[in-house]
Chain A
C-alpha cells in the first residue's frame, strides 16, 4: 500500500532536548483577546471560554462588528480582556440589553456572556423571553454551579448535596429545590434554534466547546435565530478542590446531571 509521507523539517537524532522547529508558533493567543493577564483563579474555566469566543470572532473576522454584553459575576470586567465594544448590564438583564442593541443594529454581532446567577436566577425572565422572541443573538452561559464573585453561594445550578456558603450541609432538594436545566427548559420554545451543552474540563472537551461556540456565532451571522451554548466550567476555589480535581468533578459528577451534547438544533 502506498503511503503518503508528509515532509517535515530535518531533525538530527540526538539525546539532548534541542529541537529544530519553525520560529512562528502554531498556537497563540487570538488577536481579539487582550494580552493582559486575567484575574480569574487558577484553573477557572472563564479564561478558556474567553479565548474560545475570541478565536471564533477572529476566525469569522467579525471583531469590528461585535458588541458584547458583559454580566455581573466573576466575568464582570470581561471587557478588560476583549478587544471589541462591550456594554455592562444590570444583573440578569443581559439578554434584554442585547435585545435593545441587536434590534437597532441588526448588522452587528451581539453576544451575551452570563454566569449561573445572571442567567438562571435573577435573569430567568429575560433569557426566556429573548429566546422566545427568537432574538438573533448568541448567548454563552458559563455554568460552574456556584456564585463565585460574591463568595461561593448556592446557584440555581448547584447540585444536590453540594456544599456552598449558603448550603453548608449540602443542597437539600426539599429545602432548596432542584438544580435547573436551562437548555432543556428553553428547548421547548420555538424561538430557540440552537442549544448545546459543552464543557472545558479536558482539552478534548475544550475543542468540542470551541466548535459549539463557533456554531453559535455562525447561526447569528447567517441570521438563523437564537443560539445558546452552556459551558460546564470549573470553580476550584468554591468547590474547595484543586483545579485538576475540579476538572474531574465535572467529568464524573456534573456532566452526569448536566449531559453534554446538542440539546436542540434547528
Chain B
C-alpha cells in the first residue's frame, strides 16, 4: 500500500523510524533537525512509544543506551555540535555491542558555526568521533525518500550487528520538503531475538551490559571480536551508486545533497559532450572501495565534491590507490556548491 506524501527529510526519517518499530526517542532541540524531534514527540505518543526531550544531547544518547540495553529499538538525533557531545555514549554503545540509530543533520562548523548545511562531520562519523577502536555503519541518504528507506534499513542493520548506525544528512536534506512514498515493511518491523537484553533475570542467569573488561588479555579478545564483526560488515553491507562511469573521463564523487547537485552537473557536462560520470557512496562506512576499481585507470580523473575542506576525498584517494588522479572541490562553513561551479571545475580539468 503506497502512500504519497509531502515531507521534509527530517520528518521522512521520523516516519521511517516509527514504521521500523522504534519505541524510544530522546533528543534535544538543535537546528536544523528540530522537525525530527517534534515529529517524534507527536508520533511516539501516537504509537505508544516513549519520547523524552532530554536535558542535553549527552543525556539523550545515554537514555538511548538504557532503552537499547533493555532490548527496545531506540533512536536519537542532533546536529554537528550535539553529535560531538554524544561521542562518549556512542563509543560505549559500540563497546557494549548495543544497537541504536543516531541521526546527524550536519550544519556549518567548527564550534557553533551556523545552521546552514555542511558535510564537515564525515571524519567524525567514519573515522571515529569517540575514543577507541570501533566503527559505526554510516548511511548517507540523498532525498526524503532515501531518509525514509535508510532509516528502516538502519534499525535492521543496528539489530543485526548489535552496533550503532548513523544516518548522516545535512540541513538542506533535513529541511527541504519533497514528495515521497511511505511504504511500511510488508510484514511489519523485523524482530530480532535479544537474549542479551536486560529484561529482569527471570529463568536465566544475570545479563550484564558492560564495556569495562579488566581481566588480563580479555579486552584485546573483545576487540578482536569487534573487528571480526566490522570485517563482516565491510564484506556484506557496502552500498553505493555509479552513473555513467564506464565511458567517463572525469568521475565526480559526492554523497548526500551534493551528489544530487553533482548529478545535475554531470548531465550538463554530458549535454556539452563531456564524458562525465558519478560515483555516489551510500554507505560512507563501510566505504565502497570496489566501486572505484573500474574507473581507477590511468588517464581518468576523479573530482571529489564536498561541503567541507576535504574529508571523503581522503578515502577516495585510498580507494584509488594512486591509479588515477584525484582532485577536490569544496565549499565550507555552510556554503553550497552550485551545478555551474562544479561544471566549471570539471571543464578546467579537461583543459589541463
Task: Check A88 for interface membership: any CB of B closer than 8 A.
Answer: yes
Contacts of A84 in B (CB 8 A): 200-201, 206
Task: Check B112 for interface membership: any CB of A closer than 8 A.
Answer: no
The residue that A97 contacts in the complex, of B52, B63, B71, B202, with Cβ under 8 A, is B63
Q: A96-B62, A108-B199, A108-B200 are in contact. Are A86 and B209 (CB under 8 A)?
A: yes
Q: A79-B208, A125-B56 are in contact. Are A103 and B67 (CB under 8 A)?
A: yes
Q: A102: nearest residue on chain B (CB-CB)? A: B66
Segment among A18-26, A60-68, A150-158 that sits at the interface with chain B: A60-68
Q: Bits for A88-124, please: 1 = Cβ < 8 Å to B, else 0.
A: 1110010011111111110010000000000000000
Distance in angstroms from B173 CB to nearest chain A CB is 28
Q: A90-B89, A126-B59 are in contact. Are A85 and B207 (CB under 8 A)?
A: yes
Q: A93-B59, A104-B67 are in contact. Are A85 and B206 (CB under 8 A)?
A: yes
The residue that A100 contacts in the complex, of B24, B58, B200, with Cβ under 8 A, is B24
Task: Check B72 for interface membership: any CB of A closer than 8 A.
Answer: yes
On chain A, the number of residues with a Cβ less than 8 Å from chain B's Cβ atoms is 35
Distance in angstroms from A93 CB to nearest chain B CB is 4
Task: Check A217 for interface membership: any CB of B closer than 8 A.
Answer: no
Distance in angstroms from A83 CB to nearest chain B CB is 6
Determine if B96 and A82 form an interchain contact, defined as CB atoms under 8 angstroms apart: no
Complex CA gap A98/B198 in Å reads 11
Q: B59: nearest residue on chain A (CB-CB)? A: A96
Task: Check A87 for interface membership: any CB of B closer than 8 A.
Answer: yes
Contacts of A85 in B (CB 8 A): 198-201, 206-208
Could you tell me the dominant secondary structure of chain A's interface residues? mixed
B interface, how many residues as a size bin?
A: 35 or more
The residue that A88 contacts in the complex, of B24, B68, B206, B211, with Cβ under 8 A, is B211
Contacts of B65 in A (CB 8 A): 87, 89-90, 93, 96-97, 100
Determine if A63 and B201 form an interchain contact, defined as CB atoms under 8 angstroms apart: yes
Distance in angstroms from A18 CB to nearest chain B CB is 42
Distance in angstroms from A128 CB to nearest chain B CB is 8
Within 8 A of B (CB), among A6-46: none
Q: A76-B212, A93-B89, A125-B56 are in contact. Are A87 and B198 (CB under 8 A)?
A: yes
Complex CA gap A98/B58 in Å reads 14
Complex CA gap A225/B210 in Å reads 27
The residue that A83 contacts in the complex, of B52, B89, B206, with Cβ under 8 A, is B206
Determine if A67 and B200 form an interchain contact, defined as CB atoms under 8 angstroms apart: yes
Determine if B63 and A83 form an interchain contact, defined as CB atoms under 8 angstroms apart: no
Interface centre among A65, A87, A133 (most CB of B within 10 A): A87
Task: Check A234 for interface membership: any CB of B closer than 8 A.
Answer: no
Distance in angstroms from B29 CB to nearest chain A CB is 15
Determine if A103 and B50 form an interchain contact, defined as CB atoms under 8 angstroms apart: yes
Determine if B201 and A83 form an interchain contact, defined as CB atoms under 8 angstroms apart: yes
Determine if A104 and B72 form an interchain contact, defined as CB atoms under 8 angstroms apart: yes
Distance in angstroms from A87 CB to nearest chain B CB is 4
Which 9 A-B pairs give the minimum distances between C-beta atoms?
A: A100-B66, A96-B62, A93-B62, A100-B63, A97-B66, A64-B202, A100-B67, A129-B55, A87-B209
A-B CB contact pairs (8 Å), 19 listed:
A67-B70, A67-B200, A69-B66, A83-B201, A84-B200, A84-B201, A85-B198, A85-B200, A85-B207, A87-B209, A88-B212, A89-B65, A93-B58, A100-B62, A100-B74, A102-B66, A104-B23, A104-B70, A125-B55
Name B's A-contacting residues (CB within 8 A).
Answer: 23-24, 26, 50, 52, 54-56, 58-60, 62-72, 74, 88-89, 92, 96, 198-203, 206-212, 214
